[in-house]
Structure 1
Amino acid sequence: MKEKEGSLGLFQQFKFVRVLHHDTRAKSLYLLGTIQSQDAIAIIEKTAFNVQDDLLMNNLVASSIEDIRMLDKNDVYHWYMAVMKEDLEKLPGAKVSLIWPATQTHIDKYGKQRHRMITETPEMYRSVLAPYIETMKGDRIQWVYNILSHKVEADRIVYENTDPVNGFILLPNLKWDRTTMDALYLIAIVHRRDVASIRDLSKKHIPWLKSVQREIVQAVTTTYPLTETQLRIYVHYLPSYYHFHIHVTNVEHDAGDSTGIGKAIMLTDVISRLEEMSDEHSGFAKSTLSFFLGENSELWKNGYSKIYKD
């Protein structure tokens, strides 16, 4: 209880400064504030209904709607606004994330911004992205190493292969409430440190990638009431951090841009493209890849904006 009370106490110190961004589709709100005079970001998201709880669904209309007001009607269609009863365990109203202390990079990432589509050639990767990736390693991803060494979040691990080269840790993404199965979202973080993104993958990695995918499917389908065809297993390019990791979601989960064109690449497609490459030394470092990039990002401001001049 002390940890929960301490976390609540920290959140209660949040002093609002301004709205960074709001997403009407995802029902989420991003707020900039301060805690103890340091920048902080609060992310508030409406939670999904727990449709796996039959008793809750049976009682949803009868007992969960506390107040209701009709907005309009037309023939057989009726529209209302309602106030719903909430329960922290079974029917929480929102999920809250807190970043503190928040850096300018965090503020830029979660602020409203325009996006650009980048077509990155191998030459552009070597001259712009590769040097940038080196600045994003080390202390910038210490939190990843903390997970891999079991310093934090060890109690959330769903599955682990401890082999330092072939192994990985599978655990719930913090965006998932760990209750709503349709919204299942896991992350597999590999133990090896020589792969930062798909750019570091070549044909020699094919057996390893296939093995990881098989283990992920086995672990998820054993742990949760899902089958292989209900899983979306993919990587991001560009990723949000440069230590190779794989996203695993229920295909029913709408992750927005996270699973869209210019961001997500199915792991099976990554493997297939590697298999189609001409020789053993071929890999994504020699490929042209496209992705979308926010104008607030350091990579756009100090890198690709100089190439893509309007």
Structure 2
Amino acid sequence: MDLETIRKFTFQRILSEDPKNKFLAILGEIQDQPAVIIAEKTAFDNPTVSELFQPNLTPDVTLTERNDVYHSYTATIAQDIAKPGIKATLIWPATQTHIRKYSKQARRMIRETPELYQQITLPYITSQLGPRIQWVYNILNHTAETDRIVYEDTDPNTGFILLPDLKWDRVTLSSFYLMALVNRRDLHSLHDLNTTHLPLLKNIRSSALREIPLQWPTVSPDQLRLYIHYQPSYYHFHVHVTHLEYEGGDGMAVGRAWLLDDVIAQLEEMAEGRGFEGRTITYVLGEESGLWKEGFSNVKG
């Protein structure tokens, strides 16, 4: 995709924004097809922080508040393409699922029993497979993003591909974010895991903790957080790997994130062949999600 594509974007409305994390999701169109842009402020470039308030480099500084030893200012800092101020991700053509995901929305606490999983969640998951996750298969088949692969284990049962998530600018280590996509295509979410998958989960954990410090020596294993989302954003099983300093918002909150170590420990306590399929799982679900609109919104009580 070239630069001309994003330059054809026409604004429609803001889907959501997060002032704390400097995040903005925008809905628009490109060539009459829906498009979503996720814009984030980039982190400060540490080597040049000492230059920020040099008079010749920061000409526009305004004092906005002063109280005893506290002084507040606003400033305009010169930027160029080598030190960009914004990182943007374009989703085009965007589906209703993408638009719902990035829309501001109220949330509900869902208590998903095994019966509700079979009646509501499983049919929804089935509807989200195939073409909707073709981009994952493109990575696994090496037809896309091959230059971004950090580590690969080709074993069909316990292997995976580790690569940077689009949320990471691949520069700022405090926002370090990788994704482990498993080779298996029969695992869609946490709910599918049982004791037979322990070798896979342990391989992801040990390999990530070994390989990442080899490629990023300033990141130690005890600075990494490995976790699983339920419900996930897409239904091909994957594990998130982030730096402890990364601020993940709702993605790291109770009701969404499960630490990989805790999942492994729970499975180790279960009888052979048992897993999460018989468990009641409680989680947070946005009212704009398809799973809510098409399923749980109709559940009474």
Task: Give the TM-score taking structure 2 as reference length.
Answer: 0.96
Q: Does 1:302 align with 2:294?
A: yes
Match of 2:99 in 1: 107
Match of 2:250 in 1: 257
> 2:22 is matched with which residue: 7, 27, 30?
27
Note the 1:1-310 alignment, pairs <5 A. Answer: 7-51=2-46, 53=47, 56-62=48-54, 64-89=57-82, 91-224=83-216, 225-277=218-270, 279-308=271-300
3-state SS of 2:53 partner: helix
Displacement, 1:167? 0.8
Q: State the alpha-carbon separation in 2 of the partners of residues 196 and 142 from structure 1.
A: 14
Q: State the alpha-carbon separation in 1 of the partners of residues 221 and 127 from structure 2.
A: 37
Displacement, 1:61? 2.6
**Which amino acid in the other structure matches residue 43 of structure 1?**
I
Displacement, 1:65? 2.7
3-state SS of 2:205 partner: helix
Q: State the alpha-carbon separation in 1 of the partners of residues 16 and 57 from structure 2.
A: 30
3-state SS of 1:176 partner: coil
Task: Give the TM-score taking structure 1 as reference length.
Answer: 0.93
Q: State the alpha-carbon separation in 1 of the partners of residues 172 and 80 from structure 2.
A: 14
Q: State the alpha-carbon separation in 2 of the partners of residues 223 and 66 from structure 1.
A: 39
Displacement, 1:100? 1.0
Displacement, 1:87? 3.0
3-state SS of 1:44 partner: strand
Please tell me the root mean square deviation across aligned C-alpha atoms, in Å: 1.3
Q: State the alpha-carbon separation in 1 of the partners of residues 76 and 52 from structure 2.
A: 12
Q: State the alpha-carbon separation in 2 of the partners of residues 205 and 64 from structure 1.
A: 55
**Structure 2 residue ranges without an equivalent (≥5):** none
Q: State the alpha-carbon separation in 2 of the partners of residues 163 and 212 from structure 1.
A: 12
Q: State the alpha-carbon separation in 1 of the partners of residues 221 and 173 from structure 2.
A: 14
**Structure 1 residue ranges without an equivalent (≥5):** 1-5
Q: Is the 8 A contact 2:107 2:287 kept in 1?
A: yes
Displacement, 1:208? 2.3
3-state SS of 1:26 partner: coil
Q: State the alpha-carbon separation in 2 of the partners of residues 255 and 86 from structure 1.
A: 26
Q: State the alpha-carbon separation in 2 of the partners of residues 70 and 206 from structure 1.
A: 57
CA change 1:247–1:66 in 2 (3 A) is farther
3-state SS of 1:273 partner: helix
Q: Is the 8 A contact 2:158 2:199 kept in 1?
A: no
CA change 1:208–1:30 in 2 (3 A) is closer
How many equivalent pairs are there? 299
Q: Which runs of structure 1 show a deviation greater than 4 angstroms over 4 or more consecutive aligned residues?
A: none
